[in-house]
Amino acid sequence: MKDPVTFYPGESGRGTGVSVLKNKASRRAFIKGVIASGAIAGSSTFLFGGIGGCSSDQPAAGAVERLLSLNVNGRVRRVDVLPNETLAMTLRYKLGLTGTKLSCDRGECGACTVVIDGVSTYSCSTLTHMVGNRQVRTIEGLEGPDGELHPIQQAFIDELGPQCGFCTPGQIMSTVALLEANPNPTRDEARHALSGNLCRCGAYDHYLNSVMRAAQGA
């Protein structure tokens, strides 16, 4: 069977009097093309929120509000946060608080430990969008008004707790949460509180001595 043809008005005078016909795509192919173009336009609207969504102040239905207000170290800060962004990434790369370390990035080593509402928390395993209005404290938040060290930090120095120092911020923040909840822990309680913080230098006894020294000075 021959391909369908389309007649173009104004061309009947050409040739030998026979209408000039041009081969074109079949009607079925044309309809498929229209459907495909409509699907592409619809998917673009879904992905990008449509033209109206770009100008609206309100997020589209089901979307996540990206501009958040975070209470970090007693200061409320506005920050643009991706839906799948962890608190560790926000602290380090959006707020410049690089004292919070990233090491394993899967909730195993404790280097990224911060204190959220008095509880030591792995920031690498906490989505920033889950923090809400809770109070976040990082190692930077322990600095005194004149730049002096926190008593816990000083105790860690006095007991030679830090070796390479990479895990030290997490160790200190775990100690902060412990001593605020229990100012006079036993050594076993201190060991349990710091059990989620790994030290590749193996300075565990130094860190435990630091905790006990800080508790005595509290």
208-211's contacts with Cβ under 8 Å and 24+ in sequence apart are 209/159, 209/161, 210/152, 210/155, 210/156, 210/158, 210/159, 210/161, 210/171, 210/175, 211/155, 211/175, 211/178, 211/179, 211/185
pLDDT confidence of residue 163: 94
pLDDT means per 10 residues, the chain with 218 residues, are 50 46 58 60 45 47 80 97 97 97 96 98 97 97 95 97 96 98 98 97 97 91
Domains, the chain, ordered by start = 5-55 (no CATH), 67-217 (3.10.20.30)
What is residue 217's predicted lDDT score, i.e. its pLDDT? 83
Which pLDDT does position 8 carry in this prediction?
Answer: 47
Sign of CA dihedral 123, 126, 129, 135: negative
Quick one: how many helices (H) and strands (E) in the chain? 7, 7
Residue 38: what pLDDT? Answer: 58
Cα dihedral across residues 186, 208, 91, 47: positive or negative? negative
**pLDDT of the residue at 27:** 66
Predicted local confidence at residue 25, as pLDDT: 53
Which tens digit of pLDDT belongs to each residue from 63-92?
678 999 999 999 999 999 999 999 999 999
